[in-house]
Structure 1
Amino acid sequence: MIHPLADVQSKNIGEGTMIWQFCVVLKNATIGKNCNINCQVLIESDAIIGDQVTIKPGVQIWDGITLEDNVFIGPNATFTNDLFPKSKNKEFKLIKTLVKKGASIGANATILAGVTIGENALIGAGSVVTKNIPDNEIWVGNPAKFLKKNNND
């Protein structure tokens, strides 16, 4: 289902995916099956989203971001794809970011370009992730630090 107030240019959208109002999905974006893309989400052309992903309102999935299956992105979480951003940057180099299967990112967390967030990892609300996060761990704070193993209970 695509809400009539969404601007969805991509044809690469899996069955059962819901895209709500005021979303923009650019031409070559890939979105898997049974996803829930909440209102006010932007997904750029070189973004890849797996199956059963939930993206809450106010999130931008930029070029170079990959979200594997069963990922949860909380409201207003922020991704980057450029470590040295500036207007009209002629030297822009796309830096890819990977969020692995089953990972969850809390509200207002910031994920810097080039990191990998491991399978079933959990990033606490408001955390700033500056380096790779191992599988099955919970990280919180600014900068994000290891809190404990994620037992997935």
Structure 2
Amino acid sequence: MSEDKDYQRMLDGKLYVTDKLHEDHREFEGKVLVQKINQLPQDRAHMAETMRLEMQLVHGKHKQLWIQPPFQVDFGKHIEIGENFYCNVDAILLDTNWIRIGDNVKIGPRVNLFTAGHPIDTPIRVSMLEYAKEIHIGDNTWIGGNVTVVPGVSIGKNCVIGAGAVVTKDIPDGVIAVGNPARILRKIGKKDHDIWQAQADDYYRDWAND
């Protein structure tokens, strides 16, 4: 196969044309794999098979990985996930470019991670030229339900992104961000730790008394 110039331009975040991608670099294989996952019965007997196929789909360490079906991908081969990952139902992982997710990340239901974009200028947009830019999500971050992350955005470590947020710009480490477009509400600090540690201690005491 000769060099796939449009595929490389796509991964470089430059304008490209989907119809010029070579067959080996098209999205069909990943879509078929996700279709198999989504068609498996959602019972305990099929959990191991679901997890096996999901680990086949994504790159990374992912010793513990669960993406709750149904979900959708674009290519299904540009997704890299760390350890201890959970994603709730109805996610759209539009991995036209890379989606890179760290360790201990939780994603709520109906979250959209969109790496694909189209030019604002009308004549260029209708000429079939498009682009895709990577999305990064740092370790220990929680993305709430119905959040949308647009192309090229990085979300830091130890963040909480409130439900329904539309993340259009980078988010630094250790903050809560909410709204459309998402804005930083506040930093996460010692007071948050103390409140939740007290509730965790209560849980463990309750079990210790059995």
Give yes or no for TM over 0.5. yes
CA distance in 1, matches of 2:65, 2:101: 11
CA distance in 1, matches of 2:172, 2:115: 20
Bigger Rg over Cα: 2
CA distance in 2, matches of 1:113, 1:132: 11
CA distance in 2, matches of 1:69, 1:60: 20
Q: Which of 43, 47, 72 is the matching residue for 2:106?
A: 72
TM-score of the superposed pair, with normalisation by structure 2: 0.58
2:59 partner amino acid? T
CA distance in 1, matches of 2:142, 2:185: 15
| 1:114 CA displacement | 0.4
Q: Which of 46, 60, 71 is the matching residue for 2:78?
A: 46
CA RMSD of aligned residues (A): 3.1
Match status 1:137 vs 2:175 = yes
User: Which residue is 1:81 aligned to?
Assistant: 115
Match status 1:6 vs 2:40 = no
The question of whether the paired residues in 2 share the 8 Å contact of 1:102 and 1:121 is answered with: yes
User: Which residue is 1:33 aligned to?
Assistant: 63
| 1:91 CA displacement | 2.2
Match status 1:100 vs 2:132 = no
Q: Could you report, residue by residue, the CA deviation over 1:81-139 in whole angstroms, capped at 9, with x for unpaired residues?
A: 12318x99742322100001011110001111101000011100001101000000000
CA distance in 1, matches of 2:127, 2:101: 26
Query: Compared with structure 1, are the counterparts of its residues 97 and 144 closer, same or farther at alpha carbon in structure 2 (3 Å cutoff)?
Result: same
The question of whether the paired residues in 1 share the 8 Å contact of 2:117 and 2:132 is answered with: no
The question of whether the paired residues in 2 share the 8 Å contact of 1:46 and 1:62 is answered with: no
| 1:53 CA displacement | 0.7
Match status 1:147 vs 2:146 = no
1:34 partner amino acid? Q
1:53 partner amino acid? F
| Greater fraction of residues in strand | 1
The question of whether the paired residues in 1 share the 8 Å contact of 2:54 and 2:66 is answered with: no
Q: Which SS does the other structure have where 1:6 is aligned?
A: helix
How many percent identity over aligned positions? 30
Q: Which of 101, 123, 141 is the matching residue for 2:161?
A: 123
Query: Compared with structure 1, are the counterparts of its residues 52 and 121 closer, same or farther at alpha carbon in structure 2 (3 Å cutoff)?
Result: same
Gaps of 5+ in 1: 8-16
CA distance in 2, matches of 1:131, 1:38: 27
Query: Compared with structure 1, are the counterparts of its residues 150 and 53 closer, same or farther at alpha carbon in structure 2 (3 Å cutoff)?
Result: same
Q: For this pair of structures, how many residues does the alignment match?
A: 139
| Deviates most, 106-115 or 58-67 | 58-67
| Greater fraction of residues in helix | 2
